[in-house]
């Protein structure tokens, strides 16, 4: 699918992987709806993109808020062709801590609610609009891109909730692609390794450098722009469908 002239929504677009993806899409000529929380930098990012791009405040786990944002995107852009799910939260807690206290079920539920259910919420609402698009010459009507994590495959100590949420994203990628195949809507997931995102940037620089050295090659943390590059390629390469692509420099996470 050619990116120039299309309409896209990027969740978590106010920072990190989402911001980089929104900028990459806009640089190729897309109009972008930055969907993020009100406390994010979403409004500033959207304003910097120019054109028809705009910010929509929404919690990805809210059906009403996401539906409103997507309705606005369709109204502003004429159609919605791409949705990229980058919104997510990180949770770290052991199943049972050193004092014998079990994992807080509310915290586990919140992680699933945002990372997994929030992703599917955006998928279902965006896809419902995409299937109504006129197909391009190749029969495509839309592209859905999700964000998993290396933790979906090698969850570390304390990552039970996070790994479960991201593993769920990986697990639903193929069936969603199969569900939407007759409508010409593709679904692909990216599983990043260690990237310079807000989840990691709270660490001191020496710690970040040490983490980067654990990556086989290139031995550094990933740049969000590299995620954005892959997202654009997925949109442009019609044969990518139903797959989870690891973007991690060949790292395989250790227990801790």
**Domains present along the chain, CATH in parentheses:** 7-195+224-247 (3.40.50.720)
pLDDT value for 106: 97
- Give helix 160-180 / helix 118-130 axis angle, nearest 10°: 20
Q: What is the pLDDT of residue 118?
A: 98
Pairing of strands 31-36, 54-57: parallel
Residue 190 pLDDT: 98
Whole-angstrom distance, CA of residue 131 vs CA of residue 221: 37
Which of 159, 223, 193, 232 minimizes the C-alpha distance to 16? 223
Predicted local distance difference test score (pLDDT) of residue 15 = 97
60 contacts 114 by C-beta, under 8 angstroms: yes
CA distance 188 to 173: 6
pLDDT of residue 202: 77
Q: Which residues have CB under 8 Å from 226's CB, separation 6+?
A: 195, 247
pLDDT of residue 199: 79
Calculated CA dihedral for residues 10, 16, 17, 23, nearest 10 degrees = 60
pLDDT in tens, the chain (256 residues): 999 999 999 999 999 999 999 999 999 999 999 999 999 999 999 999 999 999 999 999 999 999 999 999 999 999 999 999 999 999 999 999 999 999 999 999 999 999 999 999 999 999 999 999 999 999 999 999 999 999 999 999 999 999 999 999 999 999 999 999 999 999 999 999 999 998 788 778 888 899 999 999 999 999 999 999 999 999 999 999 999 999 999 999 999 8
Q: What is the pTM of this model?
A: 0.96
Instruction: Tell me the H-state helices in the chain.
Output: 16-27, 42-49, 63-77, 105-112, 118-130, 160-180, 205-212, 224-236
Q: ω into residue 218 within 30 of 0, thus cis?
A: yes
Q: What is the predicted pLDDT for the residue at 203?
A: 79
Residue in 221, 228, 214 with CA at minimum distance from that of residue 200 = 221
Q: Which of 162, 169, 184, 246 is catalytic?
A: 162
| H helix and E strand count, the chain | 8, 7
Whether 162 is a known active-site residue: answer yes
């Amino acid at each position: 699918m050619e990116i120039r002239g299309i309409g896209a929504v990027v969740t978590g677009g106010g920072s990190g992987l989402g911001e980089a993806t929104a900028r990459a899409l806009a640089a190729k000529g897309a109009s972008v709806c930055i969907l993020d929380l009100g406390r994010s930098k979403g409004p500033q990012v959207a304003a910097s993109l120019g054109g028809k791009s705009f910010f929509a405040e929404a919690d990805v786990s809210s059906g009403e808020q996401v539906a409103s944002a997507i309705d606005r995107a369709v109204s502003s852009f004429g159609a919605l062709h791409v949705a990229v799910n980058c919104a997510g939260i990180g949770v770290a807690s052991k199943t049972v801590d050193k004092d014998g206290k079990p994992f807080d079920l509310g915290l586990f539920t919140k992680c699933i609610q945002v990372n997994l259910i929030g992703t599917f919420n955006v998928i279902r609402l965006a896809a419902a609009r995409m299937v109504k698009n006129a197909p391009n010459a190749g029969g495509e009507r839309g592209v859905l891109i999700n964000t998993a994590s290396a933790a979906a495959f090698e969850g570390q100590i304390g990552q039970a909730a996070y790994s479960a949420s991201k593993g769920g994203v990986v697990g639903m990628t193929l069936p969603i692609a199969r569900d939407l195949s007759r409508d010409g809507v593709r679904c692909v997931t990216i599983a990043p390794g260690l990237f310079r995102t807000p989840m990691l940037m709270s660490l001191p620089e020496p710690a970040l450098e040490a983490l980067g050295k654990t990556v086989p090659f290139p031995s550094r943390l990933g740049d969000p722009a590299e995620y954005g590059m892959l997202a654009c390629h997925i949109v442009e390469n019609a044969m990518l469908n139903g797959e989870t692509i690891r973007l991690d420099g060949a790292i395989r996470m250790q227990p801790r």
